Amino acid sequence: MKKVLCAASLGMALAFSVGAQAADKIAVVNIAEVFQQLPARAAVAKQLENEFKGRASELQGMESDLQAKIQKLQRDGSTMKASEREKLEKEVVAKRDEFAQKAQAFDIDNQRRQMEERNKILTRIHDSVKVVAGQKGYDLVLDANTVAYSASGKDITAEVLKQVK
């Protein structure tokens, strides 16, 4: 019985020792902070703004035209001839449908492109995390936003930010 207890104690001590060694090879990185501080993020935002500027201004023009027609219908609708009012109502409905369709297509395209560019940046960040982890000898790197507590304090965010720039 004494040998079993001794073996169990030795096994527990060995497990804690291995756990402590593994903890030495764990680091954390704040991916969101790296993403926010990247100069490339601002450049990509500007690029996307320029890419969609023409369509955005077209939509703004369509919206202004539609608002003007709606106001005219509300203001003058009661004094217009029935045929003129019906014509204007049909025109407003057609413009509203066209605007809604173009606005939805714009939103979808804009979101798709933003996700593409965001994913490119995140891939660069993840590649940089791998490089820094390899250089520093870390076996595991966790996102700081998913870690409740880290006693080791091995935060490699600054190194990753330098690497990704």
**In the chain, where are the structural domains located?**
26-163
As a whole number of angstroms, the distance between CA 5 and CA 113 comes to 63
pLDDT of residue 150: 75
The mean pLDDT value for 117-130 works out to 94
Alpha-carbon distances of 9 from 16, 18, 47, rounded to whole Å:
11, 14, 62
As a whole number of angstroms, the distance between CA 20 and CA 15 comes to 9
Q: Which CATH architecture has domain 26-163?
A: 2-Layer Sandwich (3.30)
The mean pLDDT value for 30-42 works out to 90
pLDDT of residue 153: 66
pLDDT of residue 32: 92
Per-residue pLDDT of 1-22, as tens digits, reads 444 333 334 344 434 444 445 5
pTM: 0.68
The mean pLDDT value for 134-150 works out to 87
Whether the predicted pLDDT of 118 surpasses 80: yes
Higher local confidence (pLDDT), 9 or 40 = 40
